[in-house]
Structures are given as C-alpha cells and as structure tokens.
Structure 1
Amino acid sequence: MILKRVFQKPFKQQMLFFFVPVTVASVLIIGLYSYFFETNNIKKNASYLMESTVNQTSVLLNDKMMTLFSQMINLSNSAAVNNLLLDGGSSGRADNFDDLLACYDSMEEIYQNYDQVIDSLYFCNNRGEEVKYFTSDVPRHIGLSLSEWMKKYNSSPHGVYWLNDHKNDVFQTMTPHRVISVFRIIGSPESQSAGILIFNLSSSYFSGIFDNVRISQNGYMMLVSRDGTLSSSSMQNQYCLTLSAVEKLKEHFGTNGSMDLRSVTNQKMVVTYHTIEVNGWMVAAVMPESDLLSTSSEFKVILMVLISLLIFVMISLTGMIARSISKPIEYLSDQVLKFDGGDMEVSFAVESENEIGVLSHGLSYLKRAVTELLAQVRREQEQKAKMQLLAMQEQIKPHFLYNTIGSIRQLVNMGKNQMASDLCVELARFYRLGISGGNEIITLAEEIDHAHSYLEIQKVRYEDDFEYEFDIPQEIAHTDMLKLSLQPLIENAIYHGIKKKEGIGTILVSGEKQQDRIILKVYDDGAGMTEDELQDLRASLALPPEVSWTRHFGLRNVNARLKLYFGPESGLEIESVKDVYTQVSILIPLKKKAGGSGSHA
C-alpha cells in the first residue's frame, strides 16, 4: 500500500523518495567501511610498531643482562673465589687476605665498568668470610644467612638464579634500594666448602630504559618473571594489569606474541611480549586500546564532516537530476495525452540535446506526418480505400506511443535511468524510421531496422518474456519493401503467441530469395493456433479490404496494403500448429514494381 501511494505521487517526489535513502545509505556504508578499514590499518601499524619496539628492548636488556651474567660467572670461577671457598688452611696459608683483596679488586673493576647498572656486589662463604662492594649510602647492615639462602634456592642444577625487582636485603640502608639480583650458590648445605656470589643490579636503571621507550600516551613497559614484575616509573595506576592478567601473561613464558588483557579499572589493554634468552623473562609493552584508537577518533570526526557534505551534495544533485529528467518527460506525457485526445495543435518542443530531445523531435515529426496524412485523406477521396488503410495504420501509433512513454516513466520511477534513456533512443529511432520521409516504399534493410527498434522497445516492456533473432541475407537487403509490414506481424507474434506461452519464447525474422520472389518469414514458438482458428484467419485475409471485419485487423491491414502496392501475387501466408509454432510469410514478387504514387518508384 505504501509503495502504491508513492507511485501515485509526482514523478519528482518518487525519484527523491527512492534515490535519497539509497544515496544516504550508500554514503553511510562507504563511510563506515572507510572508518573500519582505517581503524584496522591503525591497529595493524600500531601492532607492528609495538612488536618492533618490544623486540628491540628485549635485545637491549638481553645484552645488558648477558654481559653482567658473564661477569658474575667469570668472577665465581676466578682463582680468588675458588681459594676463598676452600676449607681453611687447605691452601697452606694462615689466612686468605690476598684472595679477599683480589676478589675485592675484581668487584671494584666490574663496578667501575658497569656502575650505571650495578647497585652492589657481595660474596661470602660458609666460614663467614665476606667480600662486599657498595658505594652508595652507608648500610646499616650488610650480610645474609647463607644457610637460609641455600635452603630457599636449591632448584637450579648450576646454582644460578635471577630475582626480579625487590628490596636489597643484603645491603640494608636508610632508604631501601630496589634491585634485580643475579646470583650463584656454590656448593650445598652439606658441603664443607660453600658460598654465594650476588650481583645486585639497579632496578631504576631498567625502569629508566623503559621510561625512554615511547609506546603511547598512557602505555608502558614491563619486565615480567615468575617471581615478580618491574614496570616503567611512568605507569599510571589505573592502567596497571590485574593479578589474574599478569598470571595469564606468565603462561606464555618462552614465546613471543600479543594478547588482550584487563587493567584494574577493567579497561582493555593490548599487550605485546617477547622472551629474553638469558633468563627466560619476558619484556612486555602494555597499551590501553583507547590510545590505539585515539588517532582513529580524529579520523572519525573528519569522516563524519565529509560524509555530511557528501550527503548534502548527493541530495542536491539527486533533486537536480530528478527535475531535469521528470520535467520534460511529464511535459511530453501531457502533450501525448492531448494529442491522443485529438488536439492536433499540441507542441512537442523541448530544449534538450539528449535522448529526450531526440524523442521530442521524433514526436514533432510524428505530429506533422499525422497532420499531413489526415489532410491527404481529406483531399484524396478518389483513393479512399488506400487512405482508409493508412488512417487505420496511423491510429495505431498514438496508443503504442502512449504505452511506450508510460514504460519510460515506469523505468525512471524504478530508478533505471539508463534503460529509460535507451528506450527513448529506440522510440525516437522507431518513429524516425517509421516516417521514412513520407515514402511508403523503403528498402528491406530500413524495414528490418524499424522492426529491430520495435523489438527492442517491446523487449524492455516485457523484460525476459522472449528472445529474437534476424536472419536476412545481404543480397536482398536493398530490395524494395512496403514500410510497416514486419512490425504488425511481430506485434501479432508477441501478443497472440509469446504472451500466451509459459516460459521464454523465441521470435525469428528471416528472409530468402526464391527465383522471382522474396519471402520474409516471422516465426514464433508461442501458443500457435488450432486448425479451426487457422482456417478462420486465412478466410479473413481473403476478404476484400472494404468488408468490415473486427478480428485480425493487423494482419488484414498488412495483407491488403501488400496487394495494393505489389499486386495480387503478393500477400501473406500463414502456417501454425497448436502449442508448437506460428509462421507468417510475406510474399513479394520481384517482377512487380511498386504501384501507387510516384514516390514509390
């Protein structure tokens, strides 16, 4: 019901009703696609940059930690440390002062080379001998319980352990130092000679590295191990990962990748991680997804402005196009209705050079031709029979024209502007060929062109109800032909054959030369006729033109005109089988020249 009411509205309103929503929807779809496409690209680029940053940071940390780890191993394997680990007096010396001094010198050298990284160094054995190096605040207490450490850390086959960010309990100062420790326990609680060597690395050094890495406005770096984490000092508490999120991240030790986790404020965080080779820890970059989409928010604003402008422009253009198409078509439609009502003074003039202009010119030619033909009918009473046939021929055209223009309007209403334009061209061509400069005799090629235009028009009107084909040899293309002979036969094939058939029909227009005559055939595989119907049609064709007969008007008209112009040997022959086919043949003798007025010579 709604569509029915819409189709009853003026043509311009119909176009706006259908085109404006489609235009707006199309622009919005394109805009949404652009936004999601751009957002996806931003995510991909950000992910790539995060992966690259995390990889570079992990390489840097692995290099630093590997260097200090190597220094610790070298020192633990040094002669001085090995001598200090020996049982007292086993080396033949009363004390180990030289070894203590050598161990201290080695620690001092290592510290001087890596003073930015190292916080303190410590060695002790199970006899209570200690070597310590610490240059910051004066410690309140230095030392540890070797036996407790050996009980706590006994899982490594090589005695090497790493501890993530923690308070330095070996060197206890007024202001506690946060350190990352790498240490080696030598021996066991049952060993006669045992000891521990500890390298305490400054946590602030590593957090400083993280602070120099720019992830995003609120992003930060993390160093994750099984015993704890170290984060950038710039990390805001609201973006801190939950304990469960950290535990989930720890499940991926030894791998590289990314995942989405939640912060303590339940914000979605994008985490990219990479494993450090030296100790199996993980370097992770953590970034709020809101930071990731901040750039796309600016793009979204710009896109919304562009979409609004584009919608405005498209609606304006749609209105202009609707006016430019509907105004001349409505005008021509009104004029055709007046012309069909008998007003011979109507004007079809339209200021346009496109297909509508061509149609306007064709209608103007049609009007003049109809007017002249009607005047000729009144003037030439002596050719009454001939003029009656021509008058009947011309009476058919306005009705066909009105139907065709109605089809054009319907195509435009449906938004098929290109098809409407093509139909306008074919209609103008149809009438231009039909007028033929006033000549009744034209070439067969011109008649074929006229029939082709008619079929194109009807094919648009009836869509896929039929297919058609022409098979005309070139040798007969310039044969004289009575115009408007094929079109009525094709029309009859469509309306009485194809339309009554289920499925797609076929129309074949063919021609051949047989000795002294030309035979043109219009074949269709439509409904066909019964034998009684065929005999009735043949009987109607045999009647003289002046006999009034309400049926088979088109075929009788063509048959009478052929005999009028080409003599009694010309005319129509009809064959048909019910539900199989119908074939109408036009017979034109070559030895006969066209009769009638001198313009037919």
Structure 2
Amino acid sequence: MLRRMHRMRLATKHFIFLFLGGLLVFGILAWSTLVQSEQLFRAQTIRDSEIIINRTNDYLNAYLENVQHVILQLVSRSDIFDSYDPMYTEKALQEYADTNNSIISTILFVKDDGTILSNTQLYYDILGSGELPDVFELAKGNYGGINWSEPYWSSLSQYTVAFVRPVGGSQKGIVVIEINLKEFSSRLATLSGGEFQTFMIMSAGGRLVAGNAYSKLLPYPSYPPELPAALNEQLFELPTGTSEMETGNNHLIAVKSNMNRLGWSLISVFDKGYFYGNIGELYATYGRAALLLVIILLAGALMISRTFSQPIITLAKKMDRVQDIDVPSYLSVSRGDEIGDLARSYNSLMSRISMLSKDIVEMEVKKRSYEIRMLQNQIGPHFLYNTLACIASLAYQNKNDQVQETIHSLVGLLSISMGKESSLTTLAEEIQGIEMFTQIQNVRYGNRFTLKLEIDPAVLKVLMPRLTLQPLVENAIFHGIVPTRQHGMITIRAFRNKKGVRIYIRNNGIGISKPFFQKLLEGQPHDDDMNRKDGLGVYNVNHRLFLYFGRPYGLKANGVHTGTIVCVRIPYTTERSQV
C-alpha cells in the first residue's frame, strides 16, 4: 500500500489526502454538531415542558390560595357562627359557595354541640357524609391553622379534598370546605392536556388528586379517576425532574415538579415519540446535507488538486529542460495567486543565477587583476625617492645610526611587500611592515608621531590581503597628523568578536567626515586636500577585502573632533584554503 502511494502522482495524492482529510474533518464536525443539536433540542423540549409545569403549578398555588382565603374570610365572620338562627348561617354559607362556585363545592359548619350546618343543608340531611368524622380529626390536631385531607369520595361534593379550620379556637366549631375537583381538573386540562400529553396531581399520601380522565396515554378505568395500583405507585415514586417510563406499549416521558406547600406534586406525562419526534427529522436533514456536502467536497477536492498540481507539473518540466545557466529558460506568468508567485520566483531565481554566474567570472578576473596591480605598485616611486633622499640627508649629517636603521627598515619593507609570492599575509607580518613603515616616516618628519599597538595575540595568525593596513596608516600620517604641525598618536587595536576580527586604526590629527569617507569607499572624485592616489588606496583596500571575503567585510570610518577612526572588518581565517 505504501509503495503504491509512493508511486502515485502528486495530483492523485493531493486529491486523496484533501478529500479524505476534508471528509474526516467534516464528519467529526458534523457528528459533533448533530450530537450537540440533539442535546440542545432535548434540553429545549424539557425546558418547555418545565415551563408548562411551572405555569400549571402557579395556577394550582393560586387556586389553593383562594381556598385558604375563603376559609380565613369565613372564620373572621363572627356574626355567622355566633348566630342562633340556623337559617341565617345556612344562607351566609350559601352566598360564599355561590360566589366561589368554581372553587368550592360544599361548605359545612360543625358546632361544638355536634350540630352540622351546610350551604346544601337539605342534601346533607338526606345523604349525609361518611368521611366527615375523619375530617374533623384533622382540625383537632391543629387548632391554629388550616388543615387538608387526602382525596376522598363525598356524598355531597363527589371526589373532593376537604380544607378544615377551627372557629374561635374550637370553642364555636369547625369550618369544612370541600373543593370542586372536577372543575379544578377541567381547568388544568386546558393548560397541560392534549392528545400526546396528560397530567396528574399526586397527594403526599400517594393518592391521585386530579387528572385528565379522557387521556389515552394513561388508563382511567373508573370514576373517580383512579390508576391501577402498580402504575399509581410507579408515578408516586418518580424522582423530581424528567424520567422515562413504560405503561403497556406506551413509552412515556414524565416530568415531575417539586411538592407544593400542601405536599402535592404535579406530573406531566408526554408520549416519547411526540416528545422527541423532531429529532428524527433532524437526523434526516443532516443525512441529506452530508450527502450533498460529500459530493461538493469530492468535486472541490478534484478541482483544487488540478489547480495546484498542473502548474507545478509545468514548472517541473521547465526546470528539467534547464541546461545552460547563461541562457535561462523563463516561464510565462499569467496568474496572480501563489502559483503565479512561484513562477515569478522561479524566473527571478533563474535571472539571479545568471547574473551571479557572470559576477563570479567578473570577480575572478578583477581579483587576479588587483593581485597583479598590487605586486606591481606595492611601493610607489615617490616613496622610494623620498626615502632615499632622507637617507642621503642623514648620511650628509653623519647620522650613521639613523641611516643604518632607515636602510634596514626599507629593506625589510621591500622584502615583505615584494618578496612573497602569495597575496595573503598574516596580521603579524602586516604589523611588522607597519612598524618599519612608520620608522621611516618618523625619520623623514622628525618624530612627529608615536605608534601604539594593542594587538590581541589570538588574532596574530589571521590571514588578510597584503598591504591592507599600510595605505590606511599612510593616510593617517599625511592627511591627519602632518597638517596639524603637532606631535600625534596613531593607535592600532585588533581583537576578535562574534562577527570575526576587528582592526581599529585611530589618529588624533585632522578628522574626516563620514560622507567623505563613503565617497572614498565608492571610488568617487576626491577633494583637493587628498590626491587621487591616496583616495584610490582606500578604495582598493576596501574592494580587495570585498573580493576576498565578501560583502559583509571591508572598511568603515567614524570621524571625531580630534581625528579619525577606521575599522577594518575581516573574518577569522588562519588557513589559506579557506580564502
């Protein structure tokens, strides 16, 4: 497999990697997005159901607060319960029941002597109520507050819940209100009912308080609505929040609220298929989008691969045909993108290669020419003439010691300058020549300057072109110190740093401006105060350094108020084979 991939063309490999890589990235992103979308959708559906539950709970709490408010109003009516006229009490209770008929089904007042009065006194006298004794016991357990019963069947109010409160600290009797659970369930059904949704309210004792008797999701085999014991227990034991459950063939989602202050819990039940019904459509939509994007990715990968590979193939064929650097073969450029930049870079590269080839040949010719010129003109005739005239003058004055020293320096200088075949010398030999040269000039000018050497021994063996320092020292003497008519100082300091070897030649004579020195380096016309030979000496030194070592090396000068500093920059090279 790897061998087959290795033999494939660039366009084929680019297409395969681009398509598979894009498909992998898209697949991961699409799957991650799908999972997140499903989770968000499920979470949003649950939040919507919880909003419905909270809204229904608010209604339930408001309903119960109204019941409690009616009880508190009743127990505050001392005129009703202090009256000895039963007809007056029955009429007052009837008025309260009629005013709140959507909440209250029956109101009963049980006196301390056991007499029971009701807003439906005739029905009570005929039907009675078997659950009342248990309800009365609730009031005896808490004389200071309102108590409520578990759901029960009443002859007067049918399926109901009773709210009881003593009147006057139980000395006068007990008020009992049986609420209208049928009306209560009907109103809740408008909030939480539907074909795929139903609700129920469970009491603290696990009894069904209210529910939608017409729902198809849960069985209500009888009226009052009672669930099968197993299902009733299953719903009662559901944890608060969202849960899944099964009843027969129905897969349901149950959302249970926290208990309210009566201990009742509201449970909303949804058909699971309806609850998550849109998730299937979400998967189908993603499937269609994935198929479309795979097709687009396939076409795009093929197009991009051909767009990139075809110009590269053309470039490779063009490069294969390159044989003669002097006659480069250029590409036609008509694109403005990176491929066009590559073609332009190739054309520029071929042009630079051709120019560099010509420069190399030209530099080799110039290098040989400068070497010959250096050997022929190392010491000019005027220098020999002046030196010999100086020796004659010393001999005439019988200064034999100085004559001998000057001749010795001249011979040594001629030996260093002309007695070597190589155009390279060490810094030690160059310094030796400088000492001889400055001795001759001091004899000529009468000890007008002092030579100070600060040479690091580590750089004495470094190689450099012959007669690099002498023209610079000569300029320092003739154009820096001699015109001042004062005793001067020439300091030569050499050391090594990270960039190579630095040699500083400083004099305290007349300074030179940096722009003027730059003109000398470029070989441009010179001012009247420096003759053409001296200017060419600086240019030749700088140019020879460039020919031997390259562009970063050469001369650099800084003019100061009391002289000039010239820096010679050369690499640290001790082997002639490296130059």
**Range into which the TM-score falls when normalised by the shorter chain:** 0.5 to 0.7
Kept after mapping to 1: 8 A contact 2:50/2:255: no
Kept after mapping to 2: 8 A contact 1:61/1:276: no
Kept after mapping to 1: 8 A contact 2:149/2:163: yes
Residue 323 of structure 1 deviates from its aligned partner by 0.6
The match for 1:131 is 117
Larger-gyration structure (1/2): 2
Map Cα deviations across residues 208-230 of structure 1 (whole Å, 9 max, x no partner). Answer: 22211158863333323213232
Residue 11 of structure 1 deviates from its aligned partner by 0.9
The match for 1:65 is 64
Match for 1:327 among 298, 307, 310?
A: 310
1:137–1:267 distance in 2 versus 1, CA, 3 Å: farther
Q: Distance in 1 between matches of 2:167 and 2:567?
A: 122
Which amino acid in the other structure matches residue 28 of structure 1?
A: G
Kept after mapping to 2: 8 A contact 1:211/1:233: no
Map Cα deviations across residues 296-333 of structure 1 (whole Å, 9 max, x no partner). Answer: 44444334333333332233222111111111112222
Q: Distance in 2 between matches of 1:321 and 1:129?
A: 97
Kept after mapping to 2: 8 A contact 1:213/1:221: no
Are 2:166 and 1:181 aligned?
no
1:164–1:344 distance in 2 versus 1, CA, 3 Å: farther
The match for 1:55 is 54
Kept after mapping to 1: 8 A contact 2:53/2:266: yes
1:222–1:156 distance in 2 versus 1, CA, 3 Å: farther
Further displaced range: 366-375 or 315-324 = 366-375
The match for 2:257 is 273
Q: Specify which structure has the bigger relative contact order, considering alpha-carbon pairs within 8 angstroms and separated by 6 or more residues.
A: 1
Q: Distance in 2 between matches of 1:208 and 1:26?
A: 54
1:207–1:315 distance in 2 versus 1, CA, 3 Å: same
Q: Distance in 2 between matches of 1:281 and 1:313?
A: 58
Give 1:20-31 correspondences, 5 Å limit.
20-31=19-30
Residue 346 of structure 1 deviates from its aligned partner by 7.0
Residue 369 of structure 1 deviates from its aligned partner by 8.3
- Secondary structure at the aligned position of 2:322 is classed as helix
Residue 104 of structure 1 deviates from its aligned partner by 1.4
Q: Distance in 2 between matches of 1:72 and 1:42?
A: 45
- Secondary structure at the aligned position of 2:101 is classed as coil
Are 2:577 and 1:519 aligned?
no
1:293–1:479 distance in 2 versus 1, CA, 3 Å: farther
The match for 1:205 is 183
Q: Distance in 2 between matches of 1:350 and 1:231?
A: 82
Kept after mapping to 2: 8 A contact 1:54/1:283: yes
1:286–1:32 distance in 2 versus 1, CA, 3 Å: same
Kept after mapping to 2: 8 A contact 1:124/1:196: yes
The match for 2:90 is 104
- Secondary structure at the aligned position of 1:213 is classed as helix
Q: Distance in 2 between matches of 1:540 and 1:64?
A: 107
Q: Distance in 1 between matches of 2:142 and 2:64?
A: 18
The match for 1:540 is 577
Kept after mapping to 2: 8 A contact 1:179/1:201: yes
Kept after mapping to 2: 8 A contact 1:270/1:289: no
Match for 2:198 among 220, 225, 242?
A: 220
Match for 2:156 among 167, 171, 186?
A: 171
Match for 2:319 among 316, 320, 336?
A: 336
- Secondary structure at the aligned position of 1:325 is classed as helix
Kept after mapping to 2: 8 A contact 1:335/1:348: yes
Residue 46 of structure 1 deviates from its aligned partner by 4.2
1:165–1:235 distance in 2 versus 1, CA, 3 Å: farther
Map Cα deviations across residues 428-473 of structure 1 (whole Å, 9 max, x no partner). Answer: xxxxxxxxxxxxxxxxxxxxxxxxxxxxxxxxxxxxxxxx99xxx9
1:362–1:476 distance in 2 versus 1, CA, 3 Å: farther
Map Cα deviations across residues 369-400 of structure 1 (whole Å, 9 max, x no partner). Answer: 889999999xx9xx99869x9xxxxxxxxxxx
Q: Distance in 1 between matches of 2:298 and 2:518?
A: 54
Kept after mapping to 2: 8 A contact 1:348/1:364: yes
Q: Distance in 2 between matches of 1:334 and 1:135?
A: 113
Residue 109 of structure 1 deviates from its aligned partner by 0.6
Kept after mapping to 2: 8 A contact 1:328/1:350: no
Which amino acid in the other structure matches residue 11 of structure 1?
A: L
Kept after mapping to 2: 8 A contact 1:50/1:215: no
Residue 52 of structure 1 deviates from its aligned partner by 4.1
Further displaced range: 363-372 or 223-232 = 363-372
Further displaced range: 29-38 or 6-15 = 29-38
Which amino acid in the other structure matches residue 163 of structure 2?
A: V
1:83–1:299 distance in 2 versus 1, CA, 3 Å: same
Q: Distance in 1 between matches of 2:309 and 2:218?
A: 62
Residue 113 of structure 1 deviates from its aligned partner by 0.7
The match for 2:285 is 302
1:111–1:13 distance in 2 versus 1, CA, 3 Å: same
1:355–1:226 distance in 2 versus 1, CA, 3 Å: closer
Q: Distance in 2 between matches of 1:289 and 1:244?
A: 21
Which amino acid in the other structure matches residue 513 of structure 1?
A: K
Map Cα deviations across residues 112-153 of structure 1 (whole Å, 9 max, x no partner). Answer: 112223333344558664434459999983232655555688
Residue 354 of structure 1 deviates from its aligned partner by 2.9
Q: Distance in 2 between matches of 1:23 and 1:125?
A: 85
Q: Distance in 1 between matches of 2:2 and 2:218?
A: 56
Q: Distance in 2 between matches of 1:384 and 1:186?
A: 124
Map Cα deviations across residues 24-77 of structure 1 (whole Å, 9 max, x no partner). Answer: 222233333433444444455445544444333333322322222332344456
Map Cα deviations across residues 403-439 of structure 1 (whole Å, 9 max, x no partner). Answer: xxxxxxxxxxxxxxxxxxxxxxxxxxxxxxxxxxxxx
Match for 2:217 among 233, 237, 240?
A: 237
Q: Distance in 2 between matches of 1:6 and 1:39?
A: 40
Unaligned runs of 5+ in 2: 220-226, 369-497, 500-513, 524-541, 558-564
Q: Distance in 2 between matches of 1:72 and 1:385?
A: 119
Q: Distance in 2 between matches of 1:48 and 1:225?
A: 24
1:330–1:65 distance in 2 versus 1, CA, 3 Å: same
Quote the RMSD (CA, aligned, Å). Answer: 5.3
Kept after mapping to 1: 8 A contact 2:81/2:172: no
Which amino acid in the other structure matches residue 337 of structure 1?
A: D
1:371–1:117 distance in 2 versus 1, CA, 3 Å: closer
The match for 1:417 is none
Residue 18 of structure 1 deviates from its aligned partner by 1.6
1:76–1:52 distance in 2 versus 1, CA, 3 Å: same
Percent identity over paired residues: 14
1:162–1:341 distance in 2 versus 1, CA, 3 Å: farther
Unaligned runs of 5+ in 1: 85-95, 253-257, 390-467, 491-508, 524-533, 542-571, 573-601
TM superposition score normalised by structure 2: 0.53
Are 2:306 and 1:312 aligned?
no
1:110–1:479 distance in 2 versus 1, CA, 3 Å: farther
Kept after mapping to 2: 8 A contact 1:122/1:133: yes
Q: Distance in 2 between matches of 1:68 and 1:237?
A: 31
Which amino acid in the other structure matches residue 316 of structure 1?
A: A
